[in-house]
Structure 1
Amino acid sequence: MTGYEITSFEFRVLLRHYWRKNLNAKAAAKAICDVEGEGTVASRTTQKWFKHFNEGDFDLEDRPHSGRPTVLDEGDLQTALDVEPSSSTRELTEELGVANKTV
């Protein structure tokens, strides 16, 4: 499968699979890297996810966290600009509740 890049969600499914097979985090990372390529997933990442699974947290979806780009509804931005075309970036970030970099 040349050119196919595995998604974060697919990684998490694989990690859950290896966790259920009672592999340790390091062995799971190695198994994934053996197939997907060296450096594809870090042992530390697998440890973090195994900890979630051990705590009964099996939610594999992305979660918001600091530093993650805020999603901006472009329709909301356009509406704000239609109402006040001379709005500054600072005003728009406050009005829309997003980071300055996002606007």
Structure 2
Amino acid sequence: MSTFVQNKVYLWGILLHYFIQKKSAAEAHKILADTYGDNALSDTTCKDCFRRFKNNDFELEDKERSGAPKKFEDEKLEKLLHQDRCQTLTELGKTLQVDESTVSKCLKVLGMNQKQGFGYRMN
């Protein structure tokens, strides 16, 4: 197991400890950031972990994922936006059968952001 993975599992264990202690994901992230600096988990990762813990998923190792669906999601997202750039994150997520945060991350990777009232545009 790589050092990166060992550190991530260690930090997820710390998050589990704070979850059991009834701390919020934001509080846990602040503690990790104060303690580990640039080596801390991101705020989003902390929130994702807490969401998993709330769903009784206490597995500290990453679940296996294939890389193929990601490219498919990006391509499908691009097609959806080509058809209608004014769709919301919720609508796009439902169509792609993924969480809104996944859609948001894909949009950022594609270099797009939402302009108020004007749909999605390239950055």
Provide the TM-score with structure 2 as the length reference: 0.47
- Report the CA distance between 1:40 and its aligned residue: 2.1
Secondary structure at the counterpart of residue 7 of structure 1: helix
Alpha-carbon distance in structure 1 between the residues aligned to 2:34 and 2:58: 24
Counterpart position of 1:28: 28
Bigger Rg, which one: 1
User: For 1:34-79, what per-residue CA distance to the aligned partner results, in whole angstroms no more than 9, with x for missing partners?
Assistant: 11114622111111010111111111112112339xxxxxxxxxxx
Counterpart position of 1:71: none
Counterpart position of 2:93: none
Structure 2 residue 11 is matched with structure 1 residue 11: yes
Greater RCO (Cα-Cα under 8 Å, separation 6 or more): 1
Task: In structure 1, list runs of 5 or more residues that go unmatched.
Answer: 69-103
Q: Which structure carries more strand by proportion?
A: 2
Q: Which structure carries more helix by proportion?
A: 2
Secondary structure at the counterpart of residue 34 of structure 1: helix
Provide the TM-score with structure 1 as the length reference: 0.55
Aligned residues: 65
1:41 partner letter:
L
1:27 partner letter:
E
1:34 partner letter:
D
User: Which residues of 2 match residues 24-103 of structure 1 at below 5 A?
Assistant: 24-38=24-38, 40-67=40-67
How many percent of aligned residue pairs carry the same amino acid?
A: 28
Counterpart position of 2:88: none
